Amino acid sequence: MKQPTIHERDLIAGLQKGLALMQVFSEDHPRLTVPMAARLSGLSQSAARRFLLTLVHERFVETDGREYWLTAKALRIGQAYVDSAQLPRMLRPIVEQVARSTQEHVSVGVRDDDDIIHVVRSRYSHISSLSIRPGSRLPLYCTASGRIWLAQLQPAELCSYLQRVEQRPLTPYTKVTVAALEEELGRVREQGFCIVDQEFEVGMAVLSVPLRDRKGVLKAALSITTQVARLNSQAMQQRYLPALYEAQALLRPVLD
């Protein structure tokens, strides 16, 4: 969908800063002091304090007078997307169909800045994986869905990403050198799918294909996650690619 041109004069700076401040809470920073919030958000300490107190007043944040943390009310923002967005509702029947036919966990991921967020997950799952937790944000460089997105970037965009984002070895198998990642992304472009074997999480393999609309624009990535003890990567491709390609074709008109 084409985005409208938005002029700077039409933006509400306070809303931008408040939303940015809420997003600095994370697994690494579940509780923030005012100085920490200011440093992570780029705000002054006085501004960070006022924004935090406003969020406390609106019950999105709680405080003990020193530290601040998000409340369950913050989930309403994400739930509003789940309840109102058409994409997850349109994708779910096909996702569940693939899950039933493969007896594996199936998900759809979309890019959000430098992360992948799974907007649909199949109800069926026989695995316990960090990569399929509700609301989890995953890095692009070491996930199958993420590499689908990176593979379609222009060279300048990819170079900017690789310079901007630290490629940390999350497991002993994670490819982190620029040469290794570029080689892998070239392979993804050529073959039209991506498989990641234990690079994000030991014991887990993920196979992904791109979901494009009828104009060829990448909209999402469809993935199957399984345990490497069940199937090696070659067997995973042979067994599950036909189901993913069938779903890919069925979803193309839906994504317009």
Local confidence band at 256 (pLDDT 50, 70, 90 cut-offs) = confident
pLDDT for 8 = 81
CATH number at residue 56: 1.10.10.10
Q: Taking the C-alpha atoms of 173, 176, 182 and 183 in order, what is their torsion angle to the nearest 10 degrees?
A: -30
pLDDT for 83 = 65
**Distance of alpha carbon 123 from alpha carbon 249, whole angstroms:** 22
Residue 192 in this model has a pLDDT that exceeds 60: yes
Residue 54 is inside which H or E element, if any? Answer: helix 45-57
Q: Are residues 123 and 40 in the same domain?
A: no
pLDDT tens-digit readout, 223-253: 999 998 888 888 999 999 999 999 999 998 8
Q: Is residue 63 part of a domain?
A: yes
Residue 71 in this model has a pLDDT that exceeds 70: yes
Q: Are residues 72 and 100 in the same domain?
A: no
pLDDT for 7 = 81
**Distance of alpha carbon 166 from alpha carbon 127, whole angstroms:** 29
Residue 201 belongs to what domain range? 85-251
Mean of per-residue pLDDT scores for the chain: 89
Cβ contact 77:41 at 8 Å: no
Domain count, the chain: 2
Q: Is residue 165 part of a domain?
A: yes
**Distance of alpha carbon 216 from alpha carbon 72, whole angstroms:** 39
Mean pLDDT of the region 199-206: 93
Q: Are residues 149 and 223 in the same domain?
A: yes
pLDDT for 5 = 77
Q: Are residues 184 and 216 in the same domain?
A: yes
Range of weakest confidence among 135-144, 161-170, 188-197? 135-144
**Distance of alpha carbon 51 from alpha carbon 231, whole angstroms:** 50
Task: Tell me which amino acid residue 200 is.
Answer: F
**Distance of alpha carbon 18 from alpha carbon 113, whole angstroms:** 18
